[in-house]
Amino acid sequence: MKKILLLLAFSLGFAALTKAQDVTEKTTKEAPKPKYTRAIFSATKIINMQSTEIVSPGVLQFMISHHFSNIWNKDGGSQNIAQFFGLNSGVAHTYLSFDYSPLKFMNVGVAMAGNARYEGWLKFRILRQQTGVRNIPVTIGWYSMANVNTAKDPDNEFTGNKFSFLNQLLISRKFNDKFSLQLMPTWIHFNVVPYGINNSNEVFSMGIAGKYKATSKLNITLEYARQLNMHKNLISKSGSIVNYNPDLLSLGVELSTGNHLFQFYIGSTTEASAIDQLTRNNSSIKDGNLAFGFTINRSMNLKK
């Protein structure tokens, strides 16, 4: 009798355990999983500005950018053709950068920004566009960059005065398989304003950028940023009045070869660093001051 009772108890326990396991597996299978929106943009930079994209963990990214001289100078005459519309003028601002992602939500980078200046940054992905468990309509990122000018300056020998900082809130959305859009409110701080009186250490701008996927390997990109202050009637150290052009406009195309991403663009700046582009732009759209540029993107997986 005891053997029968033990056998019955064992059978009931085994059946209960099996049923509980089936319920757990069913619940696990039926639990919704987040579906993240991918490839909002094709690279970590759209044209000149950062995107919300971050390279995969363990991946090292190398980017080289060139900004040439203006295509046409109104007083240049035939010299514009001789210089092949800015491509053969002998002037090209080069930007060399390395990015690495130690974590899936964080990107670190360093760059040589030209004229003995260097930059370093952190970029965080705070929120991802997704459906499923939660419906989140946008991707949000934060980008903080420090720029230091190591060139000798007898008027500015204190190292701390040679730093400037850029902070951007990146808000992007992929509306469908072809069209993506991003907003970029920006705050730039100069430790020392390199001009005379009547100026500010803080510069603010608002930007917008978009990408349209024309084919599987070709994208069209657009950027526009408007500097909101510190661009009109500035007083230099010599007492002269300085004005900058607050509008930054760029149009580009992206070509993907699988291993490389080529970005070709035309824009109203010849500068390579975003700090100069957004605070000290000397190119005027009204005067037709547009320049060619390109960026080559190459990524290498350092994890085996």
- What is the domain count for the chain? 1
138-191 confidence digits (pLDDT tens): 999 999 999 999 888 766 666 778 899 999 999 999 999 999 999 999 999 999
CATH code, domain carrying 191: 2.40.160.40
Kindly state whether residue 5 falls inside one of the protein's structural domains.
Answer: no
Q: What is the full DSSP assignment across 149-192?
A: E-S--TT---GGGGEEEEEEEEEEEE-SSSEEEEEEEEEEEESS
**Which residue, chain included where needed, has tokens 């002037």?**
91
Give the model's pLDDT for residue 287: 82
190 lies in some domain: yes
Instruction: Identify the pLDDT of residue 132.
Output: 87
Mean pLDDT, rounded, for 233-248: 85
In a domain, 6, yes or no: no
Establish if 151 belongs to a structural domain.
yes
Distance CA 199, CA 196 (A): 7
For position 172, what pLDDT does the model report? 98
Say if 238 falls within a structural domain: yes
Q: Does the pLDDT value for residue 14 go beyond 60?
A: no
CA dihedral 281, 182, 202, 127 (to 10 degrees): -150
R_g (Cα) of the chain, nearest Å:
26
Q: What pLDDT score was predicted for residue 22?
A: 53
Neighbour-count burial of 76, counting CB atoms closer than 10 A to its CB (0-12 exposed, 13-18 middle, 19+ buried): middle
DSSP state of 45: B
Please provide the distance, in angstroms rounded to a whole number, between the alpha carbons at the two ends of the chain.
62
AA identity, residue 210? G
Domain membership of residue 138 (yes or no) is yes
Q: Is 296 domain-assigned?
A: yes
Domain-located, residue 118: yes
* Domain of 197, in residue numbers: 45-301
For the stretch 90-138, pLDDT in tens is 678 899 999 999 998 999 999 999 888 999 999 999 999 999 888 999 9
Evaluate if residue 27 carries a pLDDT over 80. Answer: no
Question: Which pLDDT value is given to residue 125?
Answer: 96
Cβ-based neighbour number of residue 300 at 10 Å:
11
The residue that leads in pLDDT, 198 or 243, is: 243
